[in-house]
């Protein structure tokens, strides 16, 4: 075989190998995403449109009351704690976007009402203002309100039990 053709054949083999690895990576990400959504569904309870407090499977900084959020937000050297709030909210927004994968009308590239997570500073500013308006609320409900503000469909809020 001509040396130029051999080189071309090796390049094609490399491209096919790379494309196969990318497909495997995409499939793995879809599986991880589906597992994440499944875990959110399994460990969450529906919120009824009543004044009852639901026992929800929520953990992490989303369970912070607005009072606790404000305490950490105003404390010196609290950037680590605020980073955790941002990461929790981004994860919650991601789970909101992934929920479309289980909707009856789901299309591969057409998830209903997905929202783009804001940058960290904008997210914290939103939660800060929300907690100023609603000091008896919590970070999870502030994040739901943010999703609604960004164009998502939100029909409930989350009331955390008092400890």
What are the pLDDT digits (tens) for 97-156? 887 666 666 555 555 578 899 999 999 999 999 999 999 999 999 999 999 899 887 766
The reply to whether the predicted model has a pTM over 0.75 is: no
Q: How far from the centroid of its chain's Cα atoms is residue 15's Cα?
A: 33
Q: How far from the centroid of its chain's Cα atoms is residue 123's Cα?
A: 12
C-alpha distance from residue 82 to each of 77, 124, 133 (Å): 10, 8, 19
Spell out the alpha helix ranges (H) of 43-163: 66-74, 79-98, 120-133, 139-149
Rounded CA-CA distance 69/140 in Å is 11
Rounded CA-CA distance 78/69 in Å is 11
What are 10's two structure tokens?
């090796």
């Amino acid at each position: 075989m001509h040396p130029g053709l051999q080189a071309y054949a090796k390049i094609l083999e490399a491209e096919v190998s790379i494309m196969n690895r990318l497909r495997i990576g995409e499939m793995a990400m879809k599986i991880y995403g589906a597992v994440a959504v499944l875990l959110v569904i399994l460990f969450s309870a529906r919120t009824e449109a009543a004044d009852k407090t639901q026992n929800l499977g929520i953990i992490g900084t989303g369970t912070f009351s607005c009072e606790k959020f404000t305490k950490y937000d105003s404390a010196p050297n609290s950037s680590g704690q605020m980073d955790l709030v941002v990461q929790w909210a981004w994860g919650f927004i991601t789970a909101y976007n992934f929920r479309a994968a289980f909707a009856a009308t789901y299309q591969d590239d057409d998830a209903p009402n997905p929202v783009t997570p804001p940058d960290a500073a904008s997210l914290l500013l939103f939660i800060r203002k929300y907690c100023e308006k609603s000091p008896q609320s919590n970070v999870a409900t502030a994040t739901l309100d943010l999703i609604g503000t960004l164009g998502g469909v939100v029909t409930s809020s989350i009331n955390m039990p008092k400890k």
